[in-house]
Amino acid sequence: MKKNLLLAAVFISFVSIAQNIESKIPSSSEAVISINGDRIIELISITEFDNFNFAKKIFKKVNRKTDSTFIVSSIKDLGFDINSKAFYFYTRTDSISYHNFLVKLTDKNKFESLLSTRDKEKIISEGGLHIMADNSSITVWNDNLLLFTGYEKHYNYFKENEERFMAEPENEGVSYYKVKKKITSRWTKAHALNIFKGHGGTSISNSKNYIASKDKNAVASVWVQNYSQLIFGAMSGIYNKMGVSSLDALKSASNLYGVKSITANLYFDEEATRLTTQMEVSSEWQKTFKSFYNSKMNKNFYNYFNQNDILAYMSFSMNTQALLEEYPALMTSMYGGIMPNYKEEVNLSGEFLSLLLDEEAIGELMTGDMLFVLNDFGEKEVTYTTYEYDENYKSKEVTKTKKEVVPDFMIMIGSKKEALLNKVVRLGIKHKLIANKEGYYKINVPKKDMPFDLYVVVKNDILFFTSSEEKISNIVNNRYVKNLGKHQKLIKNNSSVFYINGEKLISKVPVSELSRKERRYFDYAKDNLKDAYFKSSKMKGNKIQSEIKINTSNSHGNSLNVFFNLIEALAK
């Protein structure tokens, strides 16, 4: 019974420590990244990692940089608890930005052995904590936990407050450079100690939005509290130079791009690596975003897609008319608030733009549907002009030939203005910029400017551009073979897709021209990488989701092992 109680106490204590680490992160954090060490260890053991040559090189480099007799030969020797979570979080005040890293320790002596003698001389002990500070960072640790904080002061804040700081008696006769250094060091130390002791204010663990963003199956997770405010923080210096006060800009920053929170999760599955993201759209912008991105691609596009004949493609479907109708108001919303001194100019520019544009006509000319398909790569002999010099250094113009790799591709652009586009074509023929072929047209571009031919035609509300005369002829004569397969659902259900057939693309690489190292990488990629895609969904509720997925072989058990073995192949 006592043994069971002891085990329960140990377990509860462990859970409490794990929770306490996350609870130290303040709710004011603008971004949080968590690394799930326990999930990583499930996918690849410590022994497996230690046996990689690139890992041994890292250990060797670490050993060279330390003055300790302790030799690092395993990731366990670094003293960090690799089975627990580690966190990065970004916090910002009006004066200083802080980049914080929080990680559990298993052996503080091992961690300290990694420090150089010079660093060890900086360590001070205070209230049971060890503190090491320099000009741009501070590290605080005890037996179980370590916090590293890198910081950068806000130039404009210290510029605006120079007179106030220099008026303080303690700063009399001291250069402002040293005053700024003293102030930032003092404030950063207070910030780090508050975080470490759990006095940093309300915890992030009380945020429902943050809690909902986490997935225990993910190897790593990212949470951004407000994307617009985060971008504002990165660009605040630019706004200040434009005469915008930090306070005025911050009031509008929360709605600057219409995007509130962003979450992302990274997964290493058995046969795929996935990165999923979710973007929350602010209530003021939801109607606008839906009008942009929830349009359906013209089904005619599907008639000219053959999955057996592609190396890669990119599709995009957007409502051009809705974009143009909303854009003037968006200009005012986005820039009027952060540039109060130019608010009238921004409003007037938006009104003029609305008067000048015929949104419906432009929307019919360019509907917003686009599909680019890369079919192949091939070699083509091209001529070019160069110069040769005789023994008297007199130049002579000569024409030579060479082989170049040229793409076989097709671009489809949605348009309901076939009559207008045909007028443009006829004008091009008149001026000999376009040659009339049998039902389609060839654009006359000098070979020196473009090593491949380019053909164009308008059909079924689609403007076609292609480098293949065979394909344009098949389109005109209704001989094009349609085979969408899995891609119809992928294109139809998303506002944008970028797809790469890795296996086919790799097969086009001229192996004979590769170096030994490049061929080793090529062989590994050929055996382990399949296809990949990026997709961005249509808007659902107030969310837009996206995913990057790389399909891999299962020869290494899971895609994380595939990734590490790829690094191993490159490191040899």
Q: What is the pLDDT, as a whole number, of residue 323? A: 66
Q: Convert 476-529 into a string of H (helix), E (strand) and C (coil).
A: HCCCCCCECCCHHHHHHCEEEEEEEEHHHHHHCCCHHHCCHHHHHHHHHHHHHE
The residues, ordered by sequence, that sit 6+ positions from 26 with a Cβ below 8 Å of its Cβ are 89, 91, 195, 200, 201, 202, 203, 204
Q: What is the pLDDT, as a whole number, of residue 354? A: 54
Q: Which of 274, 222, 269 is nearest to 547 (CA)?
A: 274
Q: Which two tokens stand for residue 319?
A: 């409502």
Q: What is the pLDDT, as a whole number, of residue 16? A: 39
Interatomic CA distance for residues 22 and 195, integer angstroms? 11
The total number of residues written for the chain in this structure: 572
Question: How much is the pTM?
Answer: 0.84
Strand, helix or coil for residue 106 = coil
Q: Which two tokens stand for residue 504?
A: 């086919």
Q: What is the pLDDT, as a whole number, of residue 326? A: 66
Interatomic CA distance for residues 368 and 463, integer angstroms? 12
- CB atoms < 10 A from the CB of 22, how many? 19
The residues, ordered by sequence, that sit 6+ positions from 19 with a Cβ below 8 Å of its Cβ are 205
Distances (CA, A) of 173 to 164, 169, 177, 185, 219: 14, 9, 12, 19, 53
Would you say 413 and 370 are in contact if contact means Cβ atoms under 8 Å apart?
Answer: yes
H or E stretch at 307: none
Beta bridge mates, 32: 89, 223
Q: DSSP label at 299?
A: G
Q: DSSP label at 78?
A: G
Query: Kindly report the CA angle at 154 between 147 and 137, in degrees rounded to 5?
Result: 25
The values of phi and psi at residue 382, to 5°, are -125, 150
Would you say 350 and 324 are in contact if contact means Cβ atoms under 8 Å apart?
Answer: no
The residues, ordered by sequence, that sit 6+ positions from 378 with a Cβ below 8 Å of its Cβ are 405, 406, 408
Q: DSSP label at 300?
A: G
Would you say 213 and 263 are in contact if contact means Cβ atoms under 8 Å apart?
Answer: yes
Whole-angstrom distance between the N-terminal and C-terminal Cα of the chain?
55
Interatomic CA distance for residues 230 and 30, integer angstroms? 7
Would you give per-residue pLDDT tens digits along the chain (572 residues)?
Answer: 333 433 333 333 333 344 478 999 999 999 999 999 999 999 999 999 999 999 999 999 988 888 778 889 999 999 999 999 999 999 999 899 999 999 999 999 999 999 988 899 999 999 999 999 998 999 999 999 999 999 999 888 899 899 999 999 999 999 999 999 999 999 999 999 999 998 878 999 999 999 999 898 999 999 999 887 787 766 665 555 555 544 445 445 555 667 889 999 999 999 999 999 999 988 878 888 887 777 888 899 999 999 999 999 999 988 777 666 666 666 666 555 555 555 555 555 655 555 445 455 555 667 878 999 999 887 777 677 778 877 777 888 887 777 777 889 999 998 887 788 888 888 888 888 888 888 899 988 776 667 788 999 999 989 999 999 999 999 999 999 999 998 999 999 999 999 999 989 888 887 877 888 788 888 888 889 899 999 999 988 899 999 999 999 988 889 999 999 988 887 77
What residue ranges do the domains of the chain occupy? Answer: 13-206
Interatomic CA distance for residues 314 and 382, integer angstroms? 28
Q: Which two tokens stand for residue 280?
A: 């929350």
Would you say 420 and 365 are in contact if contact means Cβ atoms under 8 Å apart?
Answer: yes
